[in-house]
Amino acid sequence: MSLASVSFAKAVIPNSGVAVVVTDDEGRFGRDAAALDLAAGGAIARAVAAAGFKGKANGFLDILAPHGVGLDRVIVAGVGKLAEATDESWLKFGGALAGKLAELKLSHACLLLERPDAENLPPDHAAAVAQGAVLRSFNFNKYKTKKSDDDAPKSLKLTLALDGHSAAKKAYAPREAVAEGVILARDLVNEPANVLGPSEFAAEAKKLADLGVEVDILTEKEMKKLGMHAYLGVGVGSARPPRFVVLRWNGGKDKDKPVAFIGKGVVFDSGGISIKPAAGMEDMKGDMGGAACVLGLMRALAGRKARCNVIGALGLVENMPDGAAQRPGDIVTSMSGQTIEIINTDAEGRLVLCDMLWYVQDKFKPAFMIDLATLTGAILVALGQEHAGLFANDDTLAERITAAGKATNERVWRMPLGADYDKQIDSKFADMKNTGGRNAGSITAAQFLQRFVNGTTWAHLDVAGTAMSSPNSDINRSWGSGWGVRLLDRLVKDYYEG
Ligand code: BES
Ligand code: MN
Ligand code: ZN
């Protein structure tokens, strides 16, 4: 895994190595860039003019060894229209810069970070640059034994030199914790299922104890006692037994109700007896993307000592076909007492989640529960990879999730729920069946889950399109995206911390 480390320093122009200066879309230089240009006898400004470089956001001009300064390189970085600069645009800038440095195979650089329009750069925007660079630099290459030509250097050391560097460093501390949470989630999603089974995933969760998180790992025996037969049925065809992990971060007041996050953690989804086609089945190592996000979130919240009580639940299990596997036609009794006829063993996520939702509302009486699951291929058909599907029984919670999604650019789109869809999951033999046919596949799955929330304020995020197979972005080059960690961290920060 390659990573970046970022440090903050006083705004001093370096006299060796690589310096990065910024310019905006009006071609303006700030104080430090101008000083460097002066020292170079105007060579930087001349190079910018000669190249027709206009300072558009995330464009770069690489100038080699300009005369008069001891630097190997001066990279001029465009930050675009500063009047429109946001936290998010600085995050992307940091990502794009780290990408450029990797492309040039540079492992050290000093960014002279200033606003060319002479406005103050808020510490949080500087922190966003650092976070963007760290997120972009993550690269899951631990199983590559040979270095390929386009491999970036193992690690990037980036110094941000700016006025008010102490305040920027302070603003970065919580954002560093969040970046670590995102990277943990990405790592878990990328990891193959032969390496990461239910117990290995649970062991990763246990490591959060070091940050003060309480971690309980329930085994099959305890789950049986609780009556989680819908969840257990998913795992009986696997040689590796399930683990149900409950994490607790108590950063709030004793009397504060907790908020709860619940993740589908199917470490591999073969489909079971209703086996999936071979093409693309390898992607189903990522069917634990919901649980990875929840664990990454807990890491972020504990790492930045969020002032909130939080429950994280991971439903770890493997869906495999063997002689003991669950069959279509089987009927299982969920922890809630409701019975479910299995029509398709590949609709396993809802079977895992239904017992988790029931358990969490029953045991913790949370202010809300949000589940995340790579639940349906149908959500990809509806929304592609640009939005996760949001289902909720509460408008306020839905609006808050939507707002946090916009703020972090991890966007969600609200989908409908409604009793009219219930008839699609009526069963001839049991209280319900686990599939509702081709039409409205994501909605009938959500409608199924709603039967287990027992009136608790609840939202469901279908992340089948956003958690894995991620398109490249300024802040991500990883197949597993860590989607949702930044969104949910933001949700907690903006609405649920005293
Ligand atoms: N894990 C899959 C959904 C999925 C598909 C996630 C593509 C990521 C990418 C889920 O368990 C599943 O198999 N769902 C079925 C449900 C169907 C049998 C009702 C599906 O979407 O086809
Ligand atoms: Mn499935
Ligand atoms: Zn699945």
Q: What is the CA radius of gyration of the chain?
A: 25
**C-beta of 464 in contact with ligand 1 (< 6 A):** yes
Q: Whose CA is nearest to atom 14 of ligand 1?
A: 376
Q: Whose CA is nearest to atom 16 of ligand 1?
A: 347
Look-up: residue for tokens 């953690």?
Answer: 265
Distance (Å, whole) CA 174 – CA 180: 10
**b (16+ CB within 10 A) / e for 61-71:** bbbeebeebeb
Assigned token pair, 158:
């980036």
pTM attached to this predicted model: 0.98
The candidate with the shortest Cα–Cα distance to 74, out of 19, 122, 30, is 19
How far, CA to CA in Å, does 56 sit from each of 53, 120, 129, 131, 389? 8, 20, 17, 21, 33
Assigned token pair, 230:
């819908």
Q: What is the pLDDT of residue 154?
A: 75
**C-beta of 462 in contact with ligand 1 (< 6 A):** no
Question: From the alpha carbon of 319, which atom of ligand 1 is closest?
Answer: 11
For residue 330, report the distance from its CA to the centre of ligand 3, in Å. 18
**C-beta of 332 in contact with ligand 1 (< 6 A):** no
**C-beta of 441 in contact with ligand 1 (< 6 A):** yes
Instruction: State the ligand closest to the CA atom of 445.
Output: 1
Q: Whose CA is nearest to atom 5 of ligand 1?
A: 377
**C-beta of 23 in contact with ligand 1 (< 6 A):** no
Q: Tens-of-pLDDT digits for all 498 residues of the chain?
A: 668 999 999 999 999 999 999 999 999 999 999 999 999 999 999 999 999 999 999 999 999 999 999 999 999 999 999 988 999 999 999 999 999 999 999 999 999 999 999 999 999 999 999 999 999 999 999 999 987 766 667 789 999 999 999 999 999 999 999 999 999 999 999 999 999 999 999 999 999 999 999 999 999 999 999 999 999 999 999 999 999 999 999 999 999 999 999 999 999 999 999 999 999 999 999 999 999 999 999 999 999 999 999 999 999 999 999 999 999 999 999 999 999 999 999 999 999 999 999 999 999 999 999 999 999 999 999 999 999 999 999 999 999 999 999 999 999 999 999 999 999 999 999 999 999 999 999 999 999 999 999 999 999 999 999 999 999 999 999 999 999 999 999 999 999 998
Q: What angle do CA 225, 226, 229 make, to 5 degrees?
A: 95
Distance (Å, whole) CA 306 – CA 213: 12
Question: From the alpha carbon of 271, which atom of ligand 1 is closest?
Answer: 13
How far, CA to CA in Å, does 81 sit from each of 24, 26, 60, 121, 275? 6, 8, 15, 14, 52
CB atoms within 10 A of CB 282: 11
**C-beta of 174 in contact with ligand 1 (< 6 A):** no
Q: Which residue type sits at 70?
A: G
Residues recognised as catalytic? 276, 350
Question: From the alpha carbon of 445, which atom of ligand 1 is closest?
Answer: 19
Q: What is the pLDDT of residue 84?
A: 87
**C-beta of 348 in contact with ligand 1 (< 6 A):** yes
Distance (Å, whole) CA 483 – CA 469: 11
**C-beta of 378 in contact with ligand 1 (< 6 A):** yes
For residue 255, report the distance from its CA to the centre of ligand 3, in Å. 37
Q: What is the pLDDT of residue 310?
A: 99
For residue 2, report the distance from its CA to the centre of ligand 2, in Å. 32
The candidate with the shortest Cα–Cα distance to 249, out of 210, 218, 223, is 210
CB 174 within 8 A of CB 304: yes
SS (H, E, C) the chain: CEEEEEEEECCCCCCCCEEEEEECCCCCECHHHHHHHHHCCCHHHHHHHHHCCCCCCCCEEEEECCCCCCCCEEEEEECCCHHHCCHHHHHHHHHHHHHHHHHCCCCEEEEECCCCCCCCCCHHHHHHHHHHHHHHHCECCCCCCCCCCCCCCCEEEEEEECCCHHHHHHHHHHHHHHHHHHHHHHHHHHCCCCCCCHHHHHHHHHHHHHHCCEEEEECHHHHHHHCCHHHHHHHCCCCCCCEEEEEEEECCCCCCCCEEEEEEEEEEECCCCCCCCCCCHHHHHHCCHHHHHHHHHHHHHHHCCCCCEEEEEEEEEEECCCCCCCCCCCEEECCCCCEEECCCCCCCHHHHHHHHHHHHHHHHCCCEEEEEECCCCHHHHHHCCCCEEEEECCHHHHHHHHHHHHHHCCCEEECCCCHHHHHHHCCCCCCEECCCCCCCHHHHHHHHHHCCCCCCCEEEEECCCCCCCCCCECCECCCCCCCCHHHHHHHHHHHCCC
The candidate with the shortest Cα–Cα distance to 228, out of 348, 332, 368, is 332
The candidate with the shortest Cα–Cα distance to 318, out of 466, 470, 199, is 199
Question: From the alpha carbon of 468, which atom of ligand 1 is closest?
Answer: 8
Choice from 234, 266, 353, 376 to test ligand 1 binding pocket (greatest atom count within 8 A of CB): 376
**C-beta of 161 in contact with ligand 1 (< 6 A):** no
Assigned token pair, 190:
């990328």
Q: Whose CA is nearest to atom 17 of ligand 1?
A: 347
For residue 380, report the distance from its CA to the centre of ligand 1, in Å. 10
State phi, psi for 24 to the nearest 5 degrees. Answer: -100, -175
Distance (Å, whole) CA 30 – CA 300: 34
Distance (Å, whole) CA 384 – CA 379: 7
Question: From the alpha carbon of 374, which atom of ligand 1 is closest?
Answer: 6
Choice from 285, 346, 448 to test ligand 1 binding pocket (greatest atom count within 8 A of CB): 346
Q: What is the pLDDT of residue 148?
A: 74
Assigned token pair, 140:
């899951």
How far, CA to CA in Å, does 76 sit from each of 51, 57, 98, 123? 11, 11, 13, 22
Distance (Å, whole) CA 359 – CA 434: 19
